[in-house]
Amino acid sequence: MERPGGGFDWSSLHNSPFELSKTALMNFPRSYRDTIPGDLSLEKPNSDGTVSTSLTKVVMLYKYLGVIFDLGLKWTLHQAKVLATATYWFSHVWRLSKSATSLSSSNKKQIYNTVAVPGFTYGAEVWYSFLHKPEHASETKGSVAITNKLHSVQRKVAKAITGGLSTTAGNILDMHAYILPIDLLFCKLLFRAAL
């Protein structure tokens, strides 16, 4: 950023100044034993010839374009946010189905697909790993925990869309509501992002 022809020169040539107060420094160590570097000091030349010094702090987690990054790229905090968002939207779909002038099943499904699904799947190509079972492995790999949590929450929406009984299995409710199971929904999103 400070070298000739670097970031600060580019920003002045393109009339696009950097807002250094909004920058943060995050290190992604290979091992927990790696040392975390200290704060970064940047010297930015001003248009009047003076130089201003800015201190960029080291952070342990950072929200970038709506996705929460942490040092180990574990996505635990972001997945908790996804679960909260999904629960929020699912509760609204359920509330609409319980009103005095209840929506039809197709309208409930349309609200779910157009409002709720984009709300909780935002950035899935970054933080979600598709479910797969390698050969000779006993366990499924990928984002299993968040998939199971979202599946249990989606079951309530499928029940609200179909008006099914509480004892009906979740995959049967998904099928009758004509909505994709959570694992296939994320697989579709990842496939579309890859294309």
User: Could you tell me the residue ranges of all domains in the chain?
Assistant: 7-59, 64-194
What local confidence, expressed as pLDDT, does residue 100 receive? 61
Q: What pLDDT does residue 80 have?
A: 92
| Contact of 54 with 42, CB cutoff 8 Å | yes
Quote the pLDDT of residue 9: 80
Percentages helix, strand, coil for the chain (3-state, rounded to 5) are 45, 10, 40
Positions in the chain whose pLDDT score sits under 70: 99-101
The model's pTM is 0.75
Residue 43: predicted pLDDT: 78
Q: Which residues pair with 69 in a beta bridge?
A: 62
Sequence-distant (6+) residues with CB within 8 A of 171 are: 181
